Structure 1
Amino acid sequence: MYKTLLVDDERIILEGISRIINWNELGVNLIGTARNGLEAYDFINREQPDIVICDIKMPGMNGLELVELISKEKPFIKFIILSGFNDFNFAKQAMEFGVKHYLLKPCNEKSIVDALTHVISDLNRDAKKEQFLVDMKSRLEQVQPYVKKQLLKEFITSKNDGNQGIHFYENLLRMNFEEKFIRLVIFRIEGEYHYEHMFVIENLGEDLFSQSILSTNIGENVLFLVNEQDYHHLQLKIEKLRDIFYEIYRMDMTVAISEVDCITQVRRLYLEALECLNHRFYLGEGSIISKSDIHQDQHINNYEYDGQALCLFIKSGNLEKVESEITSFFEHLTESRLPTNLVRSYVMQLFLVIIQQSDSNKIQSYMEKMSKLIDMDTIGQMKEFFVLTAKEITQIHYDRHKSNHSVIIQKIMEMVEKNLANTDLSLKWVANKVYMNADYLGKLFKQETGQKFSSYVTQMRVNKAIEQINVMEEVKVFEIAEMIGYGDNPQYFSQVFKKLTGYSPSEYKKAN
């Protein structure tokens, strides 16, 4: 069972949470409580809990200081933060130390249980992943040529001049390394993977890279040392390997390629390829990345975006502007090539801003989604998730505005119907009656009805004229013109009528 510590300076909260949670049922053991950060820090060093549920504002050492300290000394401990609405700034800082779960006071049982369930799931997954990597490494070393694999690892990890060691392995393996100008290629499988997948990549690589010198795996990466100076030719082989692997497993891979150098520079080539691989955060999963794809511009150290424009677009219900603003925000982050942890911090800050534009009863549900956003591997994934959330909140505001607009437009239509005989009937006249700007009202009317206000009035007047023609024994154009607002200009009325119906008023009577 996972050991849990509860920390809060309010006794009633400590006792309340201690009583309402069925700890054993969740598979955790509440091993103690603490009233402040200093007391909690001593307890953690003594008892080594797996989970700490902690308030932010406490005397002595606050929760943020405790999280920062423990994240450095014992990063495996998971924190659940208790926070009030005014503590968002603290929460954003705690995020930088790996905190994923925040509960807004007052907390109910379900919120606490859900957060604990997620943390337990993370702990279980970490334990399984660690065990899986251990098992994979053991099995890999049993079935593959140990010496060659270990040799590449040694080349990569050694910081010393490797000429003497190279000569030893040249004699042992009967290979001439120093005549080779090589590249180092790293394959990273995207998604959940197993030993079988890495084994298949190595075998496919041995077949396709006929000039492969060495191969191995380090952690979740499969490495090849290849004698291939022609980049285009190498890229074609890599694409073929990825296509075959995708056809078998429906899984994609990101590939990083170093520059060309000799075997003694393998460590430098490895670090260069790793740097390329790290840019998958910006270039996206499934990319083939070389040094030429990495921007060499200096990083922008300070990036400021307060989100006011985005909040305005969300509240106005403008979906197009919201998506455009978010796209611009992420494009700027991508171009800046800032360290990924700093980019995540900026994204989280803006996420906190936009979810506060939603209804207060939905903020907690959005807060719970933050852990998913933090765990995303690429900036493209973060943008997609971000856009969906922002659009969801914007749609709510849009629907409210639309409902309000529909009431106004209905009122205007009724006003037009009652005032068809009024020669002063116009968009400006109506706008004055409803105390609105005429230009804005005209745009709103067209948005709601699909036609200009003037066209609508003309159509309504012609419809009214047709009603009168149908009940008249003899068509009197001047009378109809007065009835529908054309006053003493029956000739102009006849022209308008014929333009819309194809008949003059008299012809229309005869035809119908």
Structure 2
Amino acid sequence: MAVTEREKGRKMQYTVLVVDDEEEIREGIIRKIDWEQHGFKIIGSAGNGNDALEIAESLQPDVVMTDIMMPFMDGLELGERIVRMNPDVKLLVFSGADEFDYAKRALRIRAVEYILKPIGAEELIATLVKIKRDLDEAYDSRRNLATLREHYIDSIPVIREQTIAALVEGRMDKEQLEKKSGIAQIDLDAWGYTVGLLEIEPGQRTATKKLFPNHDEALIPVTLKQIADEALPAYAKVSTFYYGDMVGAVVCLYREEDIFRLIEGMNRVCQIMQKVYRVKVTGGIGMVCGNALELRTARKEAQTALSYRVAFGSGQTVYLGDVEPQKISALQFSESGEELLDAIRLGDEDAVRAQVKGVFGRLQSQTPNNSQLEVYFIEIKIAFMRLLQAYGLVSGRLWEAIEGFHVVDSIHSLEDAERWLAEKSLAVSRAIREARSHSLSMITARAREYMLENYGDETLSVEKASNILHVSPNYFSTLFKKEIQVSFVAYLTEVRMKKAVEFLNTTDEKSYIIAARVGYSDPNYFSHVFKKHFGVSPQRYRKGGSTAS
């Protein structure tokens, strides 16, 4: 089935970012044509590469038009970084210099067009028509139901799907794995392994059906898997598979840093699904294991990571290693017990109470004897102690109360047992929530402290800070903004500007020396940021032109 006439008739509007250090040229390009008439919309403009990169990271434009010769970061470096960040972007480079070397470098960074200034309206329109045709084809290919059906049939070799399913569900032994690792595309010599799961958020299927009026419900996960198949291999060695309504990936890792690349890749899938289909997808990644036979545990942990969307928001990827302080041993509990422990970890008190009632509803139906009840509660006690130990809560009254608990002395009826379990489940949940909150605050506090001590380091970045703090860049960036209400870069700039004002007020040092002291090797860029921050240049501020503090 081809794309419907309704879909073909839809006018797709693509977003454009214009970058040139000469404001007159920049505004001239924006005013030169009727962008909307040709299927485009200007979403931003910038006068230098640094500002443009920040806008591109935030707004994810479809097209970037950039001059080459600009201060702070030239257009070729900007283009290279944007293409690395978003491989689907269409890059249009223009320059006043007819130099072959520039054109060659532009092609090397995958620019779709190299245009000489001055840019005429007809030439610009012709270029945009070509770019729009390419973008339309890419979007139609992703939305074409016939293509999705073919991908569904061609991309699911039954043996491979069965092999991976057996592996992540723990139905495979060492001998079987060695025989079938080639079919499953699992490298048995990899450094480590994990499982990632991608799940379309509840309530999003309605949005997908609106996008595809005659959409077969079975194709919804196919759409997600196709995007995963296209995007993830650029970030990690993966074997994707269907897991219920979710899409999973068995991942081979070759060094510790590969987990961060996997997070980036799964976030990229989430971004594409949101942008192309307006559908929110959340990712979850389990802990790294050293043996492919342990992937069953990693798959369960990926499901646990998905449940943290309640705390950290949907539409992004959560790595369990970021949100749980250490790997928690598999708790020797029934399935109902695992659901209770998940509710306790997430801090949802209503869910905890509901799970406790569920546990005792099942217990009552089984009418356990005293011996069976004692064994069951010993398992619960051990599970609670493991949870508390994982969060460093191995002292205090709660630990002592659980450690000293004896079924024979404390439980005289199922009602007593339910009351004790509800009370201790809620107490453990609150203790974990407080410990996690303290841990998150400690991470941001250490980050701010590190920033104050190292603001003069020009290479200070989210990646460098997260490496020092032993968390992934994506998790650290999200956490920092949630705690401090501004991004890491914005906060670092604020620190540097305050220090610059302090040095301007208390020393006679030249502006370029102060620039270097606060982390800017380029004095011109320092002056640009200072003026943007305070409204005047550093020189004018020193002469009394501002009351910045």
Q: TM-score, normalised by structure 1?
A: 0.29
Q: TM-score, normalised by structure 2?
A: 0.27
